[in-house]
Structure 1
Amino acid sequence: MKKVLIAFLFVTALLLAACGNAEDSSGSDEASASESDAQETSNEEEEASSSETFTYESEEGPIELPSNPQRIVALSYAPNVLALGGNVVGVDEWTFNNPIMADKLEGIEAVTEESLEKIIELEPDLIIVGSWLKNIDKLKEIAPTVSFTYGKLSYLEQHEEIGKVLNKEQEAKDWVEDFKARATETGEEIKAKIGEDATVSVLENDVKQMAVFGDNWGRGTELLYQEMELNMPEKVKEKALADGYYSLSLEVISDFAGDYIVLSKNPDGDTAFLETETWKNIPAVQNGNVLELNTHVIADSDPITLEYLLEQFSTFFLGE
């Protein structure tokens, strides 16, 4: 009798274990199915989001753009797009070779308006160009293409306009507001330290000559003169303010030198002038009031470059 009872209990235990395994398997299958459904729903929502469009009023008229572009080729204004977190797959070679952009370019290709086949391979859903580039009509056949005329908008308006293109206008406006406030505050601190009447020049060496810049030609000029409201020498106002820059020879460079000099040092240009007596006798040079910066890094006026310049100017003028 005892053997029968033990056998009965053993069989019962096996049946209960089998039922438990079946329930676990069923529960696991249901969980797996639920996860699969959730992933499928997420993919569908992402596809739907990326396929939605809106009408953007471009310089050339209304154009349908993706509301959430996933593969952007920026042949111009790439740093603005990167600063706004755009999903970039291709940028111009100047941006690609800029050292301060390196950490933002992983997996991104360098392209030009001439490399149409390469751009096609990138399968862009949005292309951004400057109106001065070639093959814009051909680019339009590849993907919706927005072009901008350089100088038509101020440097901060340009960033907000890129924000509109990417459907990130508010993000762009928030950065502009914050940047202006920080730049103005830094400018006030600088003037308090160097004096309200101190002057600053922005110079650059080229292959054969020098240039001095006004208040809207990159190289930190917008930041120094527009936002920080630092002074430029009278000779610079006279010659460079209207056109944005003025070419000059080494012989007259002292006439355009301010109490402080920001030297946009072009590594492709002639730097022999740095060893001349004319340069060495400039008061700003003798006083150690020269900030040398790489032209390839500071030429533009996008948020990434401007943040870099704000830090450089703070260190140079304030020792921070």
Structure 2
Amino acid sequence: MNKQKSFLAAFLLLFVLVLSACGNAAPAKEAAPTAPATDKAAEAPASGTVTYQSETGPVDIPANPQRIVALTYAPNILSMDVTPVGVDQWTGANPLFTDKLKDVAVVSEEDPESVAAQAPDLIIAGANMKNLDQLSKIAPTVVFTWGKLDYLEQQVEIGKLLGKQDEAQAWVDDFTQRTADIGGKIKAKYGDDVTVTAIEVDDKNAYVMGDSWARGTEILYQAMGLKMPDKVKEAVAAEGYYSLSLEVLPEYMGDFVAVSRRLDASSEIMDSAVWKQIPAVQEGHVIEFESRASSYSDPTTLENLLSIFEKGFLGESK
């Protein structure tokens, strides 16, 4: 009799599980494989999962993620009106996103428990981050290598991940056209060979940067097509940036200088006699902007910097 009861109980349990699986299962939809920004992806379903073809291989992710922890590229996500439940400390300190991040936790890959506490359904991380194996056990984790895609391709790829590729591509197309137009106006006003140096300074240090080091460099050199001085081009060729001593600073300055710095702090470099003797400084060709709001290359940051550059070069801004 006990054997019959055990058999009946097991049979009923199996029957319930089969019914449950049939009622809740949704067909997985494979997203378009990682491709150039011009590829168009189908709209993601409202629920269920999709297979995202990440740079490390396929990852099954929610088709409509609701609780994203963004350890990297958080500004790109915020720019598409998606608010993560957790972000890195640098995004958390960015004044451009203060309002959107009012109730968002600051987390770290070095503390996986801080990530797990947010109960994420998707984690976005950098390829060089620690504890990736632990993070992938918390939730599906998509990894990006910084610089593997250019700043525009990266935005489209984030859009693909969130089911917003068309929206991301539309912004890319519009931004590309507008920046090219503004770059043309700058060259028309100052000449095709006008040069600009992108520099970041703190109290006692100065760094020149190449064409893909945030701080507006992608706008100046790639989108607008402005030239960097030859000496800067040589200096940044190896690492993408180069540290300068105050004494040699004038040798690297172009017709214009775009300065990323803490606007609420003084700079010994910019208060120096050497700085004040630089021709671009004397001619008023210095464009300053907040370093904490310029260290990314997402749409919100780029649109803010574009407005600053348009006013700085042309005396106008939309």
Alignment TM-score > 0.5, same fold: yes
2:72 equivalent among 72, 76, 94: 76
1:282 corresponds to which residue? 278
Q: Letter of the aligned partner of 2:50 in structure 1?
A: F
1:293 aligned to 2:266?
Answer: no
State the identity %: 52
Aligned partners of 1:266 and 1:214: how far apart in 2? 20
Aligned partners of 1:255 and 1:131: how far apart in 2? 37
1:179 corresponds to which residue? 175
Give the SS at the match of 2:98.
helix
Name whichever structure is richer in helix by fraction: 1
User: 1:115 deviation in Å?
Assistant: 3.3
Give the SS at the match of 1:57.
strand
1:203 aligned to 2:202?
Answer: no
Aligned partners of 1:174 and 1:267: how far apart in 2? 33
Q: Letter of the aligned partner of 2:192 in structure 1?
A: E
Give the SS at the match of 2:103.
coil
Deviation per CA, 1:134-182, whole angstroms, max 9, x where unpaired?
1111111111001111111111111111111112111111111111011
Provide the aligned C-alpha RMSD in A: 1.9
Aligned partners of 2:210 and 2:119: how far apart in 1? 40
Give the TM-score taking structure 1 as reference length.
0.81
| Structure index of larger Rg | 1
1:245 corresponds to which residue? 241
Q: Letter of the aligned partner of 1:311 in structure 2?
A: S
Give the TM-score taking structure 2 as reference length.
0.81
Please, which runs of 5 or more residues in structure 1 have no aligned partner?
A: 1-44
Change (3 A) 1:240 1:311: same
User: 1:100 deviation in Å?
Assistant: 0.9
User: 1:95 deviation in Å?
Assistant: 0.6
User: 1:80 deviation in Å?
Assistant: 0.5
2:102 corresponds to which residue? 106
Aligned partners of 1:270 and 1:226: how far apart in 2? 30
User: 1:276 deviation in Å?
Assistant: 1.5
1:115 aligned to 2:116?
Answer: no
Deviation per CA, 1:25-46, whole angstroms, max 9, x where unpaired?
xxxxxxxxxxxxxxxxxxxx9x
Aligned length: 273
Aligned partners of 2:265 and 2:236: how far apart in 1? 21
Please, which runs of 5 or more residues in structure 2 have no aligned partner?
A: 1-25, 27-44
1:188 equivalent among 174, 184, 191: 184
2:48 equivalent among 46, 52, 64: 52
